[in-house]
Structure 1
Amino acid sequence: MSANVGTVDRVIRIVLGLAILSLLFILEGNLKYLGLIGLIPFITGLVKFCPLYSLFKINTCQRK
């Protein structure tokens, strides 16, 4: 599993993931659990790997 998420893409994923996760604390009732969807961009940003990117042969990392 090699990294396929670049730096800018990674920062955007982490910030967006945290914003969506905050819905757990903002919304009430069962609707608040939609905030768990924020785990997907957050985790893919942390591990620098996106399974969908590898499926579609996308790589936002800088080439060495």
Structure 2
Amino acid sequence: MQVNIGGIDRTLRILVGLVLIGLATIGTIGWWGWLGIVPLVTGAIGWCPPYALFGFSTCATKSKA
């Protein structure tokens, strides 16, 4: 697994995941809030399966200078 999620993307995924899980925990939203586990985990490990499948990456490119 090669990292394919950049810094801003990772931060947003983790924040969205935590907010969804928090809202599901306090009962503000339904069971679907537990789906926040998905962005939380992908943000934490830095790898997104759909990004890998389609060859997409939000990581900064490194120059070969």
TM bucket, shorter chain: 0.7 to 0.9
Structure having the larger proportion of residues in helix: 1
Question: Which residue of 39, 42, 64 maps to 1:41?
Answer: 39
Structure 1 length-normalised TM: 0.86
Runs (4 or more) in structure 1 with deviation over 6 Å come to none
Aligned length: 62
What residue ranges of structure 2 are gaps of 5+ in the alignment?
none
Distance 1:39 1:25 in 2: 12
What residue ranges of structure 1 are gaps of 5+ in the alignment?
none
Following superposition of structure 1 onto structure 2, how do residues 5-16 of structure 1 map, counting pairs within 5 Å? 5-16=5-16
Structure 2 length-normalised TM: 0.84
Distance 2:16 2:52 in 1: 21
The alpha carbon displacement at 1:39 in A equals 0.3
Percent of aligned positions that are identical: 39
Alpha-carbon RMSD across the aligned residues, in angstroms, is 1.5
